[in-house]
Structure 1
Amino acid sequence: MGEVSKKVKKRFKNYDDFFQQETYLYKEIVEIMGFNTLINIPKTKDILQEYTKSVHTPDMTLDDFLKTIGEVKEGNIDDAIQSIFEGKLIICSNKGQYVVVDPIPKELNRSIEPPSNENVLQGSQSSFIEDLETNIGLIRKEKTSEKLCVNSYSMGKRQNKKLALLYIEGNVNKDILSEMQNQIEKNIKKELQNQQDLSNILGFSPWLTMSKFHTSELPSEAVKMLLQGRVVLFIDRLPIAFILPSLIWDMFTIENEHNYPYPLMILIRVLRVLGLLTTLIVPGLYVALVAVNPGVLRIEMALSIAQSRQGVPYPALVEVLIMLLILELILEASVRLPKSIGPTITMVGGIILGQAIVDAKLVSNLLIIILAATTIANFTIVGVQNSLSIRLYKYLIVIFASIYGVFGLLAGMLLIIAYLSSLKTFGVSYLNVNLERDVIKR
C-alpha cells in the first residue's frame, strides 16, 4: 500500500461506506477508492477493464495508461479527498501516484416527473428534479441556443454545494449579471442549503415579506424568463429554479397560457388580478362596514348583516381574526397530512367546524361565505410564495380597517403599494412591468 493510499484510508477511517479495493491493471496491482454509496463498483470495474483492453499496446506501461484516463497527481491528497466526497473514483498506484476518474454512479435521482406544485393544463409536463446537471439539461433541451451560458460555483467551507447561474448572452443586463457574479464570488465560502442562504449570499435582507426570487419547477417557465433577460439559479438537490429579478407581473402570468387563444389568456390573467384584490380587500371591507362605517351600506344590506351577526359575542375584528386563524391552521394541516387522507380530513373538518361554529353563534354566516371566497381567490395567484405573502398582507388591511374603517382599508392598500414599490433587486424595481424596455438595457 502506497503512502497516498495510507493517508486517504486514515482520513476516511470513520466512514463505513468508504471502500478501498485492490485490482489488476496491466499486470500491476492498483487500489481503487471511493464511496460505495455513490459508485456502482461492479459496472465501474467492468468499464475500466474494457477500456484497458481497447487502449492496450505492447509497449504501454501502467504509468502511460493512467495518463490516458486523467491527470496523474502525487503527494498532496487534498484533491483526492475532495474528489471522493464529490463521488469520484480514485485509482492509486504503488508509486504514490493517483488519478481521479468519473465512475459509473449509483442511481440516486428520481426520474423526470410532472410538476407537483404547479399544475400544467396545456404544456410540457416535465419538471425539475434534485440533480443540478439534469436541470441544466432540461433548460438546454427547451432552449437550444449557443448563447445560453452556464456559470458553476462550489459554495461553502464545510461541504461544497454546487450552484449554477444561467443566462442568455445578449439578453441579460450586464450590470445585473456582473453584480450578481461579484456577490457570489465574494461570499463563495458561505454555506448554501436553501433559499435563505442564497438570499444571504446575494445580499438580500432576511426580513423581506415578499421574496425577491420568482421560483418555478417548470423548465418552460425558466426559459421564458431567460428570454426576457433574467438570470436563473439552480442549487444542487433542490428541484426548483430561482429566477432574478422577480417582478409583480410574475404573480399573474404562466408561460403555458400562450397555448390558449389570446382572449382567453387575457381573461385568465384578469381573473388572477381580481383574485389578488379579493384576497386583500374583502376581509378588511367586511370589518370596516360592520364595525366602523355601517352607514355606507344600503339599509336592507345593513339589516341583513346585523341579523346574521345576531348573538355573536365578539366585535367584527375578533370574529374575522378567529376565522382567519382557523383557516390558516386548516391550510397548514392540509399540507402536512399524508396525501391519501389530507384532502378528506380537511374538507370534512372544515365543513363540520364551519357549521358548528355558526350554530354556536361564534361567527356569522356571512363571514363564513366571505372567508371561503377569500381563501379560494388567494390560490388563483401564481406561485406558492406569492400566495403566502398576500395572505400575510390581508391581516394588515384588516387591522387598519378595524381602526379607521374604509379610510383605513385604503391606507393599508397604499402602504402595501408603497412597500412593494420600494423593493429593488439589483436596481430593478419590483413593480417594473416592461422588461424589454427597462430591464434589458443593452
Structure 2
Amino acid sequence: MEGTLQEITSGLKNNDDFFEIYQDFGKEKLIFLGLNSLMDVPKTLFSLKERLNYETRMDNQFTSILFGLGENIIQDKKAIISSILEGKLVILLHNYHDRAIVVNPFSKMLSRSIEAPTNENTLQGGLSSFNEDLDTNLGIIRKQIVSENLLIKAFTLGNEQSRKVSLIYFEGSNKPYLKTLEKRLKENIGIDPKNLQNLNRLMGIPRWSLVSHFTTTELPQEANNALERGRAVLFIDRLPYAFITPGRLEDMFFIENDENFPYPIMIAIRFLRIAATLLTLIIPGLYVALVSVNPEVLRIELALSLAESRDGVPYPALVETLLMLITLELIIEASVRLPKSIGPTITMVGGIILGQAAVEAKLVSNLLIIILAATTIANSTIIGVQHSTSIRLFKYLILVLASFIGVLGILVGVFFVCSYYASITTLGVPFINFNFSKGDIKGG
C-alpha cells in the first residue's frame, strides 16, 4: 500500500493544493487524495461520511458499499493521477492497494454561468452562449435538440496536458468525412487542441492555409443549425466555442438568425453581405488602378476631381493607400487588445483626428479616406472573425496587382481568390459546397 501511495503522490506532493487525508471507518482505513483548488473538500467529505454511515447501518458490507459509491474503479497509476488532476476525489483502501475508487466531488464554481454572447450579436434570437465548461455546452445542445439520434462521442487528447473533446453529430449523417474525422481524432491523440492551429494540425489541414476550415460560434442556434444540415460540431474543454466542420463558403454570408426575418428581407440581407465582401476586395485596388494606371477609364469630370483631390500628395497612389490601410489595421488591432473603456477612444482618435490630420497635411486624399472607411465598414459585415480576416488579407493581393496592371490586375486577383477558395477541401469536402441542406441528416 505504501509503495502504491508513494508512486501516486510523488508527482503531486510538491503542489500546495494537493491534499492527502487519512480517515478510519471502523476496521477500514481510507486515504482521500485530491486537489482542494478544484473541489469543496469539507462538503465532499461530510457528504461521503454521512452516506457511508447511513449505508453501513443498513448493511455491514462496508467494502462493497464503498466500491459502489465510486464513479469507476481504476488500477492504472497514470489514470489515477489523471483523475486527480481533473478534479476527482480518489479513495484508496488499506486492504485493496491495487485499486482506487474515483468519486465525483462537490466542485468549486470555476466556470462562468450561461451568459449572453459577447462576440456575436443576435437580433430576435436566443441570448444564451457557450462557456468554457464542456459539460455545460453539451447540456445546452441537448436542450436545443431533443432527439435520440443525436450522438456525442468523447475523446481525451494531449500528452502533457490532457483535454476533453466531444464530437457531436446526428446518427443519420452517414457522411464519409465523419469517419475521417473520428479516425484523425483517434490517431492524433497526443496533440493538445488548445487553439485553432493545433486543431488544424490534428485534422491534417495545411499550416499555411489562408482560410479557416472550421466555423467558430458561441451561439447554440448556429451549432443546432449546422447539426441539422448534416455537419459535425466539436467542443473542446476550456474553449467557449463550438467548432463546426466542414467549413464552407456560405458560412461567411448566411446565419441561422437571418431566418427570423421575412423571406425577402433575409435574401436582401444576405446579398448585402456578398456585395460588401466584393467591395472590400475590389474598392481599394480599383482606386489605385484608376488613379495611377487606367485614368482613361474615368469620365473627364471625375478624372479632374480625382486629380484635384490628390493635389499636393507626395506619394504614389499605392504607397498612399498602403499607408492608410496599415494604419487602419493597427487601429483595429489596438481596439481589440485594449480594455473596453479605452478602445472606443482609440477608434475615435484614429478614425477622426488622425484621418483629418492626414488630409490636411496633404499625405492622403479626401477620396481615399472615404473609400477606406467604406471598405472597413463593409468588411465588418462578413460573418466570423476568421473569415473577415482572410478577406482583409486577400484585399492586399488585389491592391498590389492593380498597382501594376490596373483593372486587369483586379480581375486577375479576383480570379485567384475564387480559384483558391475552390481548391480548399476540409476532410474531403469542398469549401465551395452547397449540398448541405435541411434533411441531410436522414440520408448518407
Instruction: State the TM bucket, normalised to the shorter chain.
Output: over 0.9
8 Å CA contact retained: 2:248, 2:430: yes
Counterparts of 1:398 and 1:129 in 2: how far apart (Å)?
39
Q: In the alignment, residue 238 of structure 2 is paired with which amino acid?
A: R
Q: What is the number of residues matched between the two proteins?
A: 441
Query: Which residue pairs with 1:303 in the alignment?
Result: 304
Distance change in 2, residues 1:288/1:27 (3 Å) = same
Q: What is residue 7 of structure 2 aligned with on the other side?
A: 7
TM-score (norm 1): 0.96
Residue 90 of structure 2 is matched in structure 1 by: 90
Structure 2 residue aligned with 1:43: 43
Report which stretch shifted further, 320-329 or 7-16.
7-16
| CA deviations over 1:67-98 (Å, ceiling 9, x no partner) | 22137858653332121111110112222253
User: Contact between 1:152 and 1:164, CA under 8 Å: does it hold in 2?
Assistant: yes
User: Which residue type is aligned with residue 79 of structure 2?
Assistant: D
> Per-residue displacement from partner, 1:89-138 (whole Å, max 9, x unpaired)?
01122222531111111111011111111001111011110111111111
Conserved 8 A contact 2:71-2:104: no
Please tell me whether the aligned partners of residues 26 and 61 of structure 1 are also in contact (alpha carbons under 8 angstroms).
Answer: no
What is the letter of the counterpart of residue 133 of structure 1? Answer: D
* 1:373 corresponds to 2:374: yes
- Give the superposition deviation at 1:281: 0.7
Aligned to 2:340: 339
Cα deviation, residue 434, structure 1: 2.8
Give the RMSD, CA atoms, in angstroms.
1.8
* Corresponding residue for residue 23 of structure 2: 23
Contact 2:184/2:203, CA 8 A, preserved across alignment = yes
Aligned to 2:166: 164
* Deviating more after overlay: 217-226 vs 8-17: 8-17
- Following TM superposition, by how much is the alpha carbon of 1:11 offset from its aligned partner in structure 2, in angstroms? 2.9
- Aligned equivalent of 1:147: 149
Secondary structure at the counterpart of residue 333 of structure 2: helix
**SS of corresponding position for 1:149:** strand
* Counterpart contact for 1:22–1:31, Cα < 8 Å: yes
Deviation at 1:168, TM superposition (A): 0.7
Q: Is the 8 A contact 2:18 2:35 kept in 1?
A: yes
Match in the other structure for 2:222 = 221
Q: Offset of 1:2 from its aligned partner?
A: 4.3
Q: Which moved more, 1:54-63 or 1:308-317?
A: 54-63
Assess if the C-alpha contact under 8 Å between 2:39 and 2:87 holds in 1: yes
Give the aligned residue type for 1:272: R
- Aligned CA distance change for structure 1 residues 173 and 281 (closer, same or farther; 3 Å): farther
Aligned to 2:239: 238
Find the counterpart in structure 1 of residue 135 from structure 2. 133
Q: Superposed, which structure 2 residues align to 1:406-421 within 5 Å?
A: 406-421=407-422
Report if aligned partners of 1:173, 1:439 keep a CA contact under 8 Å in 2. Answer: no
Contact 1:26–1:62 under 8 Å retained in 2: no
Instruction: Check the 8 A contact 2:233/2:245 in 1, yes or no.
Output: yes
In structure 1, C-alpha distance between the alignment counterparts of 2:120 and 2:277, rounded to whole Å: 18
Mapped to 1, the partners of 2:362 and 2:137 lie a distance apart of 53
The residue aligned with 1:70 is 70
Q: Look up the match of 1:253.
A: 254
The equivalent residue for 2:294 is 293
Distance 1:74 1:192, change over 3 A: closer
User: Kindly tell me: are residues 329 and 344 of structure 1, through their superposed partners in 2, closer, same or farther at Cα, counting changes over 3 Å?
Assistant: same
| Partners of 2:229 and 2:439 within 8 A in 1 | no
- Structure 1 window deviating more from structure 2 (222-231 vs 336-345): it is 336-345
Q: Report sequence identity in percent.
A: 53
Give the 3-state SS of the residue equivalent to 1:355 in structure 2: helix
Amino acid at match of 1:117: N
1 CA distance for matches of 2:266 and 2:387?
20
The Cα offsets for residues 348-372 of structure 1, whole Å up to 9 and x where unpaired, read as: 3321100111011010000000000
Equivalent residues of 2:74, 2:102 under 8 A apart: no
Q: Which residue of 1 aligns with 2:113?
A: 111
Tell me whether 237-246 or 62-71 shows the greater mean CA deviation: 62-71
Distance change (3 Å), C-alpha of 1:312 and 1:157? same
Q: Does the 8 A contact of 1:31 with 1:91 survive in 2?
A: yes
CA–CA distance in structure 1, aligned partners of residues 28 and 58 of structure 2: 15
- Retained in 2: the 8 A contact 1:279–1:394? yes
- 1:259-274 equivalent positions in 2, closer than 5 A: 259-274=260-275
Q: Which residue of the partner structure matches residue 434 of structure 2?
A: 433
Amino acid at match of 2:29: I
Q: 1:2·1:93 contact (CA, 8 Å) conserved in 2?
A: no
Runs of 5+ unmatched residues, structure 1: none
Task: Choose 345-354 or 31-40, whichever is displaced more.
Answer: 345-354
For 2:299, the aligned partner's letter is R
Distance 2:413 2:253 in 1: 22
**Structure 1 residues 71 and 63: alpha-carbon distance in aligned structure 2, compared to 1, 3 A threshold:** farther
How far did 1:58 drift?
5.5
Q: Does 1:321 align with 2:322?
A: yes
Letter of the structure 2 residue corresponding to residue 104 of structure 1 = F
1:13 aligned partner, one-letter code: K
- Residues 91 and 100, structure 1, Cα contact 8 Å, conserved in 2: yes
How far apart, in 2, do the equivalents of 1:120 and 1:313 lie?
Answer: 45
**Rounded Cα–Cα distance in structure 1 between residues aligned with 2:121 and 2:439:** 31
**What displacement does 1:24 show?**
3.8
Q: Quote the Cα distance in structure 1 between the aligned partners of 2:138 and 2:84.
A: 23
> What are the within-5 Å matches in structure 2 for residues 399-410 of structure 1?
399-410=400-411
In the alignment, the residues of structure 1 paired with residue 51 and residue 225 of structure 2 have an alpha-carbon distance, to the nearest angstrom, of 42
Normalised by the size of structure 2, how large is the TM-score?
0.95
2:387 alignment counterpart: 386
Deviation string 1:378-418 (CA, Å, 9 cap, x unpaired) is: 00011011110000000000011111111110110001001
* Contact 1:312–1:364, Cα closer than 8 Å, also in 2: yes
What amino acid maps onto 2:102 in structure 1? V
AA matched with 1:52: L
Secondary structure of 1:436's partner? coil
Report the CA distance shift for 1:418/1:267 in structure 2 as closer, same or farther (over 3 A).
Answer: same
